Homo-oligomer: A and B are copies of this chain.
């Protein structure tokens, strides 16, 4: 039909509603912002990190106790704590040889609640 042909782009990609595409394009946030958002959620996309965060909901904990709690190696926990630290989700406080980690973000708990709601329904 002519209608469809008129809405064809010069590229090889077909388009149903060119005007809609342009409207939505203008409302999209910057590429970089959306990338950062994905990077942020990526941190929650691993069950070990989820477990660490949940543990820290309950109490500040040192590395070895988290490792004991989750029955994982100290090294694995330390690596993951670094990821959480780099995302500014946890902070740490040194006390002698021990390093205590705690949550450093007010949004996590609500985000987890919403995620749980989705899973449950």
Contact = CB atoms under 8 A, between A and B. Distances in A.
Interface string A5-45: 00011100111110011011101110001111111111111
Interface of A: 4, 8-10, 13-17, 20-21, 23-25, 27-29, 33-47, 49-51, 54-55, 58-59, 61-62, 64-65, 67-69, 71-74, 88, 98, 105, 107, 110-112, 114-119
B98 A107 contact: no
B119 A115 contact: no
> Copies per complex?
2
A24 B55 contact: yes
Contacts of A20: 59, 61, 65
Contacts of A111: 111, 114-115
A2 B108 CA distance: 24
Contact of A118 (B40, B46, B117): B40
Contacts of A38: 44-47, 49-50
